[in-house]
Amino acid sequence: MKSADIIFIGYENLENLGLRSMISYLHSKNFSAELVAFQPGHKYEILKAIKKKSPSIVGFSLIFQYTLHEFKELIRYLRKNSIHSHFTAGGHFPSIEPALTFELIPELDSIVRFEGEQTIVDLVNNLSDTDKWQEIAGLAYKTGSGIKINDNRPLIEDLDSLPFLFRDEHLETIAGIKTASMLASRGCLNNCSFCSIRRFYGNSGGPLRRVRSPQSVVSEMSDLYHQNNVCYFLFQDDDFANRSTSQRIWIMKFLEEIEKQNLSKNIRWKISCRVDDIDRETFSRMKDHGLSYVYLGIESGNSTGLQTLNKGVTVEQNLKAISILKELGIGIFIGFMLFDPSTTDLTIRENLAFLRTIGSDGYFSIDFCKMLPYAGTPIEKVLRESGRLTGTLAEPDYDFTGPEMNIYFYLVQKIFSYRNFNNEGIVNSLIILEFEFRLIKEFYPDFPIIEFQKELSGLIARTNIHAIDTLEKLLDIAYAMELHHSSENGNEAIELAETEWKVEFEIKAAIENLKNRYMSDFNAKASLSDHLWHVR
């Protein structure tokens, strides 16, 4: 049995690019490192993996603040079961709030703050000498008298100097197409009030955004295509298509490199960007070279919300960006915060009118959430200083300024939580099916795409419209409940919820019927080959 220098534990709903970068960097320095995917309720499997390899260090990826208690339980469980490895953690919350992290999870020995490749290598290399490792830049650790936070480590200037990401032998397959996550840059030039990216990378000084060379990015894509048969790439950059002059030049060179590598006809890719990044000419050229899907951080459909979130765009720009992508036939998924600290009756109605405008044609599914005040964000600071920050360390929250809106949010949460956030809910089901549809459209020319698309769009439109109708009626009920305190209003809310759930059940059944009629035969054919693109 071969031991490991370090085992990383982290979520892998998509490939955990931070951990995978550190693993490949450790490998390049001749250290052994492995990744064990974190799943709530699977503590014993993680314990077995650690005991099997007896690592010197176990590293925990606490990317999301709202998972702190899950990792606290896991770490305590591992200690109780005689795991004596050095425990370290990284991610946004531990980096920004190391003292609070140690307070919540005292079993941790250290925290790797901010960008971690060089810090983790130094830790592994010097762990046997306490005097040395406790002087490592970018590290925080416990002492007998408290917490010591070392100087920040400078950011890595040349991202091309890092090795390509560590990949598993079995990459995720969607609709018979192998996929891989990618990262072409780190950081973001923007400063949205709800986002901690600028704080995460900005604390160490250096540029707000760093990019790999187009040659390096396409070379990694080419390797994955030729060696692993990967044909779909999911870029996880915070703002891939940034509108700065330097990034627009970068994009053109990136597209030229794709063409030079003869990949344009063989691969497809997805990006995330802002609405003010989108122009018809640039995105048309990107589509010609494989762009097929865009995640848009819309966030709000009213001017007050956009100002609160510091988006720096207008409602008109939101509408224009969506219109351009629809005209180009590029897939869309949006992030949308129906609720934020400035929410009022008026902004809700404006948001719902906006969602009706963009969602009634069934081009993409809409869901909605409440803006959460993550640690280290400008909005979290404003809420704390104004006395509006509530909740707990792991689950910070806030109330709205009027009781009616608090009632409304409570009702929306109760009625739509399963729809919007459960893996089995209709939003997730439709998003996955729509994503598969776009892959099939690109890679499987014999699939009856027109009939399938028509039915799918109809289901998405019905889901979107019915949710918006329910949300509008619910707003009136919430205000009436606060005004009259009537049980009749409560009964109306119950009836509205039951109708919404009945429609969701019907749509879920229709989704399964659609998949059975079209996808079962397709899946049987797709299983005959890793993917069928090569036989076109």
Please check whether residues 98 and 66 belong to one and the same domain. yes
Single-letter amino acid code for the residue at 126: N
Q: pTM for the whole thing?
A: 0.93
Please check whether residues 415 and 520 belong to one and the same domain. yes
Give the pair of three-digit tokens for residue 351.
């948001």
> Considering the domain boundaries, does residue 162 fall inside one?
no
The pLDDT tens digits for 144-203 are 888 999 999 999 999 999 999 999 878 888 888 999 999 999 999 999 999 999 888 888
Of 149, 178, 210, which residue is a domain's last? Answer: 149
Please check whether residues 199 and 126 belong to one and the same domain. no
Q: Is residue 483 predicted with pLDDT exceeding 90? A: no
CATH at residue 386: 3.80.30.20
Single-letter amino acid code for the residue at 401: T
The pLDDT tens digits for 242-256 are 999 999 999 999 999
Residue 226: pLDDT band by 50, 70, 90 thresholds?
very high
Domain interval for residue 32: 6-149
Q: Is residue 519 predicted with pLDDT exceeding 80? A: no
> Considering the domain boundaries, does residue 27 fall inside one?
yes
For tokens 């993409």, the residue is 364
Please check whether residues 184 and 64 belong to one and the same domain. no
Q: Is residue 525 predicted with pLDDT exceeding 80? A: no
> How many Cβ atoms sit within 10 Å of the Cβ of residue 248?
15
- Torsion angle defined by CA atoms of residues 434, 335, 252 and 171, in that order, rounded to the nearest 10 degrees: -50
> Considering the domain boundaries, does residue 532 fall inside one?
no
Please check whether residues 78 and 194 belong to one and the same domain. no
Single-letter amino acid code for the residue at 440: I
> Computed over its alpha carbons, how large is the radius of gyration of the chain?
24
Give the pair of three-digit tokens for residue 417.
């939580």
pLDDT at residue number 522: 66
Of 149, 175, 202, which residue is a domain's last? Answer: 149
pLDDT at residue number 14: 85
> Considering the domain boundaries, does residue 156 fall inside one?
no
- What value does the mean pLDDT take over residues 399-410? 94
Asked whether the CA dihedral 115, 119, 123, 125 is positive or negative, the reply is positive
Single-letter amino acid code for the residue at 335: G
- What value does the mean pLDDT take over residues 281-288? 97
Q: Are 33 and 6 in contact (CB under 8 A)?
A: yes
> Considering the domain boundaries, does residue 302 fall inside one?
yes
For tokens 């608090």, the residue is 406
pLDDT at residue number 102: 96
The pLDDT tens digits for 165-174 are 999 878 888 8
> What are the phi and psi torsion angles at 399 (to 5°)?
-100, 160
Of 123, 149, 175, which residue is a domain's last? Answer: 149
- What value does the mean pLDDT take over residues 196-217? 91
Please check whether residues 274 and 143 belong to one and the same domain. no
% of the chain with per-residue pLDDT over 70: 95
Asked whether the CA dihedral 398, 399, 400, 405 is positive or negative, the reply is positive
pLDDT at residue number 518: 81
Q: Is residue 356 predicted with pLDDT exceeding 50? A: yes
Please check whether residues 137 and 178 belong to one and the same domain. no
Q: Are 160 and 213 in contact (CB under 8 A)?
A: yes
Please check whether residues 25 and 128 belong to one and the same domain. yes
Nearest to residue 509, comparing CAs of 422, 421, 405, 426?
426
pLDDT at residue number 521: 63
What's the mean pLDDT when you consider all of the chain?
A: 92
The total number of structural domains in the chain stands at: 2
Please state, in angstroms and rounded to a whole number, the distance separating the CA atoms of residues 47 and 66.
22
CATH at residue 22: 3.40.50.280
Please state, in angstroms and rounded to a whole number, the distance separating the CA atoms of residues 499 and 477.
15
> Considering the domain boundaries, does residue 158 fall inside one?
no
The pLDDT tens digits for 455-470 are 999 999 999 999 999 9
> Considering the domain boundaries, does residue 536 fall inside one?
no
> Considering the domain boundaries, does residue 155 fall inside one?
no
The pLDDT tens digits for 95-152 are 999 999 999 999 999 999 999 999 999 999 999 999 999 999 999 999 888 899 999 9
Please check whether residues 337 and 484 belong to one and the same domain. yes
Please check whether residues 448 and 356 belong to one and the same domain. yes
Q: Is residue 533 predicted with pLDDT exceeding 90? A: no
pLDDT at residue number 488: 63
Please check whether residues 180 and 89 belong to one and the same domain. no
- What value does the mean pLDDT take over residues 388-402? 93
Please check whether residues 211 and 115 belong to one and the same domain. no
Residue 482: pLDDT band by 50, 70, 90 thresholds?
low
The pLDDT tens digits for 42-65 are 999 999 999 999 999 999 999 888
The pLDDT tens digits for 261-273 are 999 999 999 999 9
